[in-house]
């Protein structure tokens, strides 16, 4: 028995039950125990995660068809033997035997106040193989939560294994981060801390190239997040305060700057993924961020940063073919030593529409990562994504499951600048990529992509050429 939910009147509980290796179906249990358990559905595709409308007339549940998982609705059956054969399709044969449902045993154990400590320890870990095209890192991450999900945390540590040949050597190869959230209420309160290393983190020169400066950043951030998740639309608002010490290593010396800022972000998404989706489908995802660095908060200088990121996923006539379009822009003003520098170049991924990183708006395939930089950035990515084959196979009990092979043809247009925008300096690229969706370690879904792109720099800093790349995750 799984995924229970209360009936609105509080007199019964709906539970998904799979008896005698049959598919999950919904069964109603009376709270007072006077009525026998009543089976509400007879579906061969399963019925889980039920919910009942406030007026008690409609049931919504998750079911499975040849097109994958989806939501289904049905009228709440009225009492009586005929109600067992609900309107959910496909229905059972007329001679189907309904397996008996046994009421759960009653426990006489005394009750006590809830304590999260018994279930708070981490029970698993995952390896980290990080390649952002400017550095390679390996490490591990642990995460956990108590059984009720009130306390959620994660921690990771990584070591540098490869860096750009022309970058300055870092003082340390060890980075770490930690995160904790108290998720019992809405909104969710959280705090994070990290130590990170970034290459080519200096201000751009007059040609729009980032200076070879290595940044060692120590940062603490705390804030509040307000998620609003519904069936067809999800929104999230976030406000936080960040305090950081940025240590810059330059060819002629080093310096440190204090940075303190207020941050705000908002996102909204209507795109969905289904059982056989290779990408979000049929909808939009939009996000915006704002950061105000102020001396009044303890910063060494003032600066402001704004970004917006819009992603459209339009279904094509062929099944699960998707046209994905992304338009994004960012601007930073204020003291040149403290304001944000946007980087442009590389195959990504740009996963979040609420990122405050310098490479949040950077996908420009056909160019090296961090190739261009500026205090302003504009970007357009267009992908046509289509499935090729769905093996859905693994090798014996090996912890690697091949789900889907798919591909995309794309075109990218972008520009990063500091002083004046010149259209003739725009950077463009076209190409294609082949991707596989796999499940690693029995439960970790991954998308691995290999691609080729031909880039053209309107300013001529980078010669026209075709580059190959490998990426974990979707481009956007």
Give the torsion through C-alpha atoms of 85, 86, 90, 95, to 10 deg: 0
Confidence class for position 172, pLDDT limits 50, 70, 90? low
Nearest of 76, 89, 323, 336 to residue 202 by alpha carbon: 336
Angle in degrees, CA 448, 452, 457, rounded to 5? 125
Nearest of 122, 194, 202 to residue 158 by alpha carbon: 194
Each residue's pLDDT tens digit, 11-21: 899 999 987 77
Note the pLDDT of residue 97. Answer: 40
Within a 10 A sphere around the Cβ of 288, how many other Cβ atoms?
Answer: 16
Note the pLDDT of residue 65. Answer: 81
DSSP string, 369-398: TT-EEESEEEEEEEEEEEEEE---EESTT-
Each residue's pLDDT tens digit, 253-279: 889 999 999 999 999 999 999 888 999
Residue range 171-183: mean pLDDT, rounded: 89
Q: Which tokens hold the place of 314?
A: 């339009």
Note the pLDDT of residue 425. Answer: 93
Q: What's the whole-model pTM score?
A: 0.75
d(CA 414, CA 324): 16
Each residue's pLDDT tens digit, 45-91: 899 999 999 999 999 999 988 777 888 999 998 875 443 333 334 44
3 state SS of 223: strand
In the DSSP assignment, the letter for residue 36 is P
Note the pLDDT of residue 170. Answer: 63
Residues in the chain: 476
Nearest of 377, 308, 369 to residue 340 by alpha carbon: 377
d(CA 20, CA 400): 29
Q: Higher confidence at residue 64 or residue 170?
A: 64
Q: Quick check: 286 pLDDT over 60?
A: yes
Q: Which tokens hold the place of 3?
A: 């995924």
Q: Quick check: 230 pLDDT over 90?
A: no
Note the pLDDT of residue 275. Answer: 81
Q: Quick check: 130 pLDDT over 60?
A: yes
Cβ(417)–Cβ(425) under 8 Å? yes
Note the pLDDT of residue 92. Answer: 40
Q: Quick check: 293 pLDDT over 90?
A: yes
Q: Quick check: 133 pLDDT over 80?
A: no
Mean pLDDT of the chain: 88
Residue range 304-316: mean pLDDT, rounded: 97
d(CA 429, CA 362): 13
- Lowest mean pLDDT across 33-37, 164-168, 210-214, 469-473: 164-168
Cβ(304)–Cβ(295) under 8 Å? no
d(CA 95, CA 256): 78
Q: Tokens 């940025």: give the residue.
A: 246
Q: How many CA atoms lie within 13 A of 276 on its CB side?
A: 16
Q: Quick check: 160 pLDDT over 80?
A: yes
Each residue's pLDDT tens digit, 192-226: 999 999 888 888 888 888 888 888 999 999 999 99
Residue range 31-40: mean pLDDT, rounded: 84
Note the pLDDT of residue 118. Answer: 87
């Amino acid at each position: 028995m799984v995924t229970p939910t209360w009936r609105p009147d509080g007199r019964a509980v709906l539970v998904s039950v799979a008896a005698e290796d049959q598919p999950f179906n919904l069964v109603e249990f009376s709270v007072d125990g006077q009525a026998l358990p009543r089976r509400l559905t007879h579906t061969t595709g399963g019925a889980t995660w039920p919910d009942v409308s406030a007026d008690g007339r409609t049931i919504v549940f998750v079911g499975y068809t040849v097109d994958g998982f989806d939501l289904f609705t049905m009228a709440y059956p009225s009492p009586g033997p005929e109600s067992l054969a609900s309107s959910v399709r496909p229905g059972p044969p007329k001679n189907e035997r309904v397996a008996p449902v046994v009421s759960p045993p009653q426990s006489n154990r005394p009750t006590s106040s809830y304590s999260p400590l018994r279930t708070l320890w981490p029970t698993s870990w995952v390896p980290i193989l990080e390649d952002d095209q400017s550095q390679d890192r390996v490490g591990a991450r642990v995460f956990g939560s108590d059984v009720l999900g009130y306390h959620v945390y994660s921690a990771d540590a990584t070591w540098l294994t490869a860096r750009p040949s022309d970058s300055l050597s870092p003082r340390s190869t060890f980075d770490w981060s930690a995160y904790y959230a108290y998720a019992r209420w809405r909104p969710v309160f959280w705090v994070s801390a990290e130590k990170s290393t970034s290459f080519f983190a200096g201000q751009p020169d007059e040609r729009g190239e980032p200076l070879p400066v290595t940044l060692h950043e120590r940062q603490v951030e705390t804030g509040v997040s307000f998620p609003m998740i519904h069936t067809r639309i999800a929104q999230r608002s976030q406000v936080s305060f960040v305090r950081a010490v940025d240590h810059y290593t330059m060819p002629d010396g080093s310096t440190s700057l204090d940075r303190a800022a207020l941050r705000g972000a908002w996102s909204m998404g209507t795109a969905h993924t289904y059982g056989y989706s290779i990408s979000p489908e049929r909808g939009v995802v939009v996000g915006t961020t704002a950061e105000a660095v102020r001396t009044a908060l303890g910063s060494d200088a003032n600066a402001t940063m704004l970004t917006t990121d819009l992603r459209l996923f339009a279904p094509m006539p062929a099944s699960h073919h998707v046209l994905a379009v992304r338009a994004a822009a960012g601007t930073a003003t204020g003291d040149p030593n403290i304001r944000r520098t946007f980087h442009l170049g590389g195959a990504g991924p740009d996963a979040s529409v609420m990122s405050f990183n310098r490479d949040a708006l950077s996908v420009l395939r056909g160019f090296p990562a961090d190739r261009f930089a500026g205090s302003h950035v504009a970007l357009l990515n267009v992908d046509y994504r289509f499935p090729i084959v769905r093996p859905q196979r693994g090798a014996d009990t090996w912890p690697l499951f091949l789900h889907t092979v798919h591909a995309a043809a794309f075109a990218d247009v972008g520009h990063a600048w500091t002083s004046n925008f010149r259209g003739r300096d725009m950077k463009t690229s076209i190409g294609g990529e082949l991707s596989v969706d796999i499940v690693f370690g029995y439960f970790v879904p991954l998308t691995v992509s290999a691609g080729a792109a031909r880039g053209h720099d309107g300013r001529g800093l980078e010669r026209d050429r075709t580059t190959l790349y490998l990426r974990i995750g979707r481009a956007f």
